[in-house]
Amino acid sequence: MVDTSAPSGAAVSSQDVSAVAADAGWSASVSAAAALDETGTSSLPAPADAAAHAVRVETQKALRNGVKLAFSMASTLAVAFAVRFWLPRVLGPELFGQTHFSDTFAAGWLAFTQLGADTYISREVAIRKEHASEFFGSLLIARAIASLLVFAGIAIMLHAMGKDALEWQMVFIFAAANVLFVLNTSLGTLLQAVGKVNELAVSNVVTKVLWGVSVIGGVALGGGIRMVALGFLLSEGVRSVSLARAARRHVDLRIRLHLDGFQAILITCVPYFLHSVAHKVYASVNVTMISWLVNDQEVGFYGAAINVALIALLVMPVLQSVVVPMGARIGKASVEALNETMRATVRIALIFSVPMALLLALNSGTVVHILYKDGYAPAAHSLRVLGLLIPLTATLTIGAMHLIQLGRIWTLSKVSITAMVINPAVSIFLIPYGAKHWGLGGAGLAASICTVLSETAVAVMIVSSLGRAAVDRASVKLVATLAGVGLVVVGVHFALPPLGFGKIVIEGVVWSLLAMPLGALPLVPIAKKVAARVSRRARSR
């Protein structure tokens, strides 16, 4: 981990990156948040009002914590790449399909044990730190009871699906690991809510490395696919110990039972719970249906494509963990400041996600060939469609956060439940059709189409619900610019002969050369800001 609190020499610190991020599009009103001196005090004139001051302070704090978590995430990317793309190559589509099904199936069921508490923690503990000890012990008891019920439901479902003994074992090991994962997510949310993320960032790196070593080592030494699940269980166990100690230190977390007040908290969490469950079940339903209605080989093709798309979306959990607590505090000072912050967050997400999505969609066959063996060629069909999902999912995630910040969680829950109904209703017919008529990878292609259709419907509902709070002229202008640049890149793609990875490079260069002068890729302003701040810090020493 990079110690961003104590920069040396002319190195770029988190303050430098935070300032750049603020100037790059969070909003003009918060760009002054970067002007902090070495003691952390502002060198700018006093803010005109409390709302502007709150925005500056909270944005600076959120960006600095986001940078720390982003560095942590970047440090774990190598492990994630190694495992996510090594496993399919080693296991082959059939065994990888079994592994992917077991993991996704268990995670979908264990979503019921979250009880909607994490979003509640982000909003409430960010304002009242001492409140954590008032409900966390009762939350653990409630989750333990929910986990027992979920385990029984898993057994019934696996029996109905006719799964073999190996997949039973895999699912239950993954389920046990997900019990710890749910706990760790809440502990991490507590730390993020109070702005103490150093131990969380270190824990993410250490446990990710432990997971990667245990999985690769176990499978390579002949432990079979069970080692994938056991590696997850081991790493989450170690992470639980680390995060529990950090929460006790920084949040003063104490495990006490307050059953009287906890009932009211559970009622408050109901809409968060409905949204969380709908989202998780919605994410896992296609994998379950492919495994049940077709076979695990098709799950392997679909899972390989999902792996690539997920890598492009790894930044979203970091963004969410930073924006929700920040928005809760900014929203108390000014709703309009909150709206502008969320709109600017969407613009940042689009600037980076749209070119990735386009390059993946245009070059899906090349990407699959580079990352996997030729046996995974059918995965390119799914990836071609899933690539389009990247900016859509990023935008929807931020839109969901926006509704939560505005206190419209019931609206979000209705949207999520609608999506959970639409997706399986279409998938149950389209997946068998795709498997029968579209050849190998057809089931995954059908599932991908269903996902894009349902996500598009969700996008329309969320944007309609937010109205002007979600869209302004700057957003419309950016979308139009991105669309224009994208059309040119599509033309270049079909004009070029097959060049393998070189074609991706050329298209990326074309995108950059067109997007930078049009303001859709602000690399030059970012570079100038970094250079200016590094120069000032060097002179000050």
Strand partners, 36: 42
Distance CA 144, CA 57 (A): 39
| pLDDT value, residue 18 | 33
| pLDDT value, residue 527 | 63
**With bands split at pLDDT 50, 70 and 90, how would you rate the model's confidence at 480?**
very high
Residue 9 has pLDDT above 60, yes or no: no
| pLDDT value, residue 328 | 65
User: Measured between alpha carbons, how far apart are the two ends of the chain, in Å?
Assistant: 24
Q: How much of the chain exceeds pLDDT 90, in percent?
A: 21
Q: 3-state DSSP call for residue 491?
A: helix
Residue 223 has pLDDT above 80, yes or no: yes
Tokens found for residue 403: 């509704």
Nearest to 296 by CA among 97, 513, 152, 522: 97
164 lies in some domain: yes
CB-based contact 211:181 (threshold 8 Å): no
| pLDDT value, residue 540 | 64
Tokens found for residue 358: 């386009």
Angle between helices 117-124 and 315-333 (to 10 degrees): 50
| pLDDT value, residue 430 | 92
Least-confidence region, from 146-155, 308-317, 335-344, 443-452: 308-317
| pLDDT value, residue 4 | 33
Residue 497 backbone dihedrals phi, psi, to 5 degrees: -75, 170
Distance CA 526, CA 535 (A): 14
Least-confidence region, from 322-336, 463-477, 498-512: 322-336
Mean pLDDT within 98-102: 92
Residue 222 has pLDDT above 60, yes or no: yes
Least-confidence region, from 175-189, 284-298, 410-424: 410-424
Mean pLDDT within 331-359: 83
4 lies in some domain: no
| pLDDT value, residue 22 | 32
Tokens found for residue 265: 């908290």
| pLDDT value, residue 16 | 33
Length of the chain measured in residues: 541
9 lies in some domain: no
| pLDDT value, residue 255 | 77
| pLDDT value, residue 318 | 60
Torsion of CA 353, 356, 358, 359, to 10 degrees: 180
51 lies in some domain: yes
1 lies in some domain: no
8 lies in some domain: no
> Model-level pTM?
0.73
| pLDDT value, residue 401 | 81
Distance CA 192, CA 129 (A): 11
| pLDDT value, residue 266 | 72
Angle between helices 335-362 and 50-110 (to 10 degrees): 50
CB-based contact 166:229 (threshold 8 Å): no
Interval 140-165: pLDDT, tens: 888 899 999 999 999 999 999 989 89
Residue 192 has pLDDT above 70, yes or no: yes
Mean pLDDT within 370-379: 86
The domain of 426 spans 14-540
Residue 190 has pLDDT above 50, yes or no: yes
Least-confidence region, from 328-342, 346-360, 370-384: 328-342
Residue 496 has pLDDT above 70, yes or no: yes
DSSP type of residue 42: B
481 lies in some domain: yes
CB-based contact 269:117 (threshold 8 Å): yes
> Bigger pLDDT: 313 or 242?
242
CB-based contact 324:365 (threshold 8 Å): no
356 lies in some domain: yes
**Average model confidence (pLDDT) for the chain?**
77
Residue 176 has pLDDT above 90, yes or no: yes
**With bands split at pLDDT 50, 70 and 90, how would you rate the model's confidence at 76?**
low
DSSP type of residue 45: P
Residue 307 has pLDDT above 70, yes or no: yes
Residue 58 has pLDDT above 60, yes or no: no
Please report which helix (H) or strand (E) contains residue 361, including its range.
Answer: helix 335-362
Mean pLDDT within 102-120: 86
| pLDDT value, residue 434 | 92
The total number of structural domains in the chain stands at 1
Q: 3-state DSSP call for residue 541?
A: coil
